[in-house]
Amino acid sequence: MKKIAVVLGTARENNFSEKVAKIVDDSLQKREIETKYVDVSDHLFGKSVSSDNEVVGKWAEIIDEVEGVIFVAPEYNHSYPGELKILIDSLYDEYKGKVAGVVSISAGQYGGVRLADKLKDLLHTVNFKLVHSEVNVSGVQKEIDEEKINKHLETLVAEMNSLV
Ligand SMILES: Cc1cc2nc3c(=O)[nH]c(=O)nc-3n(C[C@H](O)[C@H](O)[C@H](O)COP(=O)(O)O)c2cc1C
């Protein structure tokens, strides 16, 4: 896998997920994978828009230039943040052939596993080739276990490579 987009999937002010997204981004670069860092807050629509919209166009360009996408997202009420859903919903055919992985996050002990299930379901629906393994980050508001993230990320990336 030569180029992967790392998507921070929350626009919540002062969110804790950003530090995990940065760890993921750094870790991929250390493996000599080119990355495109995407913050969903730079892709907010406000309302549903057609595919010739400028914001959708930028997202489409990113998807076109990468082989895979890693969605890094916190669990909100057992699901994904609404802004991430709107971003994902803005394209469909463009995702065909692209590989997706999920890094889920929570402040509590479960690491956002319920979000991961629902997000994977959505990503499958919109045509991504989905990897089975996932990275679940618990206790994000405390000290983060970077070593554990890196270890699980290695498995995720290996599986992404096998699907290219
Ligand atoms: C609207 C909202 C809903 C949340 N729902 C859940 C939840 O369902 N399960 C959970 O483990 N944590 C939940 N949390 C707590 C998050 O795990 C916590 O905020 C964590 O820091 C990750 O989110 P952040 O990146 O926005 O900081 C929720 C937080 C918010 C703001």
**20-50 per-position pLDDT tens digit:** 999 999 999 999 999 999 999 999 877 767 7
31 lines ligand 1 (CB under 6 A): no
C-alpha span between 17 and 7 (Å, rounded): 11
Q: Read off φ and ψ for residue 18, nearest 5 degrees.
A: -55, -40
C-alpha span between 56 and 154 (Å, rounded): 31
Is 3-163 in CATH node 3.40.50.920?
no
Residue type at 8 in one-letter notation:
L
What is the per-residue pLDDT for 48?
67
What is the per-residue pLDDT for 52?
78
**pTM score:** 0.97
Q: How far is CA 77 from the centre of its chain?
A: 18
C-alpha span between 157 and 161 (Å, rounded): 6
- Domain regions of the chain by residue span: 3-163
**76-132 per-position pLDDT tens digit:** 999 999 999 999 999 999 999 999 999 999 999 999 999 999 999 999 999 999 999
User: For residue 74, how far is its CA from the centre of ligand 1 (angstroms)?
Assistant: 6
Best residue for ligand 1 mutational test, from 17, 71, 76, 118 (most atoms within 8 Å of Cβ): 76
